[in-house]
Structure 1
Amino acid sequence: MTVVVNENRNKRARVASATHVAGCRMDLNVRDFAPMAADEPALAGGTDEGPSPLEYVTAGLAACQLVTVTKIADAMGLDYTGLRVDAEADVKFRAAQGAMSPIPRFSAARLVVRMRSPEPPERLARLEELVEERCPVSNLFLDAGIAPEVVWAIETTG
């Protein structure tokens, strides 16, 4: 199965801005959507008024995987329901020089793709292959040396 890519879409930039509110609190702006709050937990010096930037990256990984599964499954004409993706990313802290606090770094990522489908195993295996090579955020992790572990929890129906 071939997925056709519109070459003109490859050149569109994704634009976002972060505006300082107070302390670690910021407003994130993307296109014409209402601002999204971002902050750090109190333990990290914030006021916990929104997800942290690292939590947004983790949520972006889950969302990107879900969109990729949806687009490819629909292009393949797969029958499915109950699609959900759970993501978890481990953060390790590296010592910083001087009085600076430790530097957080992603060290591992795990995804669980949950869905129900009556499709045969061969078609579902093809879906997995295509998603693995096409999810942009998953590939961003991979390019950084962190291969996300992906578990497909497919409940067969019908």
Structure 2
Amino acid sequence: MTTSSIRTSVVPFVINASGTGVAQHLVAEGDAGHQFDTDAYPAFGGKDEAPSPLFYALGALTSCNQVTAALVAKDLGITFGEFTFRIQGDLDTAVLVNGDEGNANFDAVKVEATVQTDADQETFDKFVSEVARRCPVTQLFVRSGLEFVNEWSRAELS
């Protein structure tokens, strides 16, 4: 890929992985060398010894939203405290497991987030909109065509 040579704002994220069966060991390229494992439920041929890639996808959505929120809050001059997230992805496994025709994607994903902040409601609404627009993982889900519900609420900063 040559995109990174065209624009200096492009940062490549590279994962190397190996595995057997449905389990994998993944290593992120870079100085930190972060490593993680995936597996699957026994119904999908795994031993359930590590989180499913589907949990990692939903977890990436929560953490990317929080990282993006920190950047947006800085731009808007607001302060935040604790974030809490609950994300649910509804997956019809007929395509994955049975090979049925259709889309193997989640049918729907719902994000419920609560953020402690000093922002008033108008600024908070702008904050939520900007986080959704600027978060790469949110955009992966939204642009995939699934039903995406994004409900954020503000709590007083303690």
Instruction: Say whether the fold is shared (TM-score over 0.5).
Output: yes
The answer to whether the aligner puts 1:51 opposite 2:51 as a matched pair is yes
In structure 1, the partner of 2:3 is none
In structure 2, the partner of 1:23 is 21
Identical-residue share of aligned pairs (%): 22
Separation (CA, whole Å) in 1 of partners of 2:110 and 2:77: 27
Query: TM-score by structure 1 length?
Result: 0.82
Partner secondary structure for residue 64 of structure 2:
helix
In structure 2, the partner of 1:71 is 71
Q: Which runs of 4+ in 1 moved over 6 A?
A: none
Contact kept? 1:65, 1:85, Cα under 8 Å: no
Separation (CA, whole Å) in 2 of partners of 1:34 and 1:135: 22
Query: TM-score by structure 2 length?
Result: 0.82
| Count of matched residue positions in the alignment of Structure 1 and Structure 2 | 147
- The Cα RMSD (Å) is 2.1
Separation (CA, whole Å) in 2 of partners of 1:18 and 1:68: 27
**Shift of the alpha carbon at 1:137?**
0.9
Partner secondary structure for residue 105 of structure 1:
coil
The answer to whether the aligner puts 1:93 opposite 2:93 as a matched pair is yes
Which one-letter code corresponds to 2:117 in the other structure?
S
Separation (CA, whole Å) in 1 of partners of 2:71 and 2:139: 17
Separation (CA, whole Å) in 2 of partners of 1:108 and 1:75: 31
Partner secondary structure for residue 148 of structure 1:
strand
Partner secondary structure for residue 154 of structure 2:
strand
The answer to whether the aligner puts 1:134 opposite 2:131 as a matched pair is no
In structure 1, the partner of 2:4 is none
Separation (CA, whole Å) in 2 of partners of 1:124 and 1:153: 9
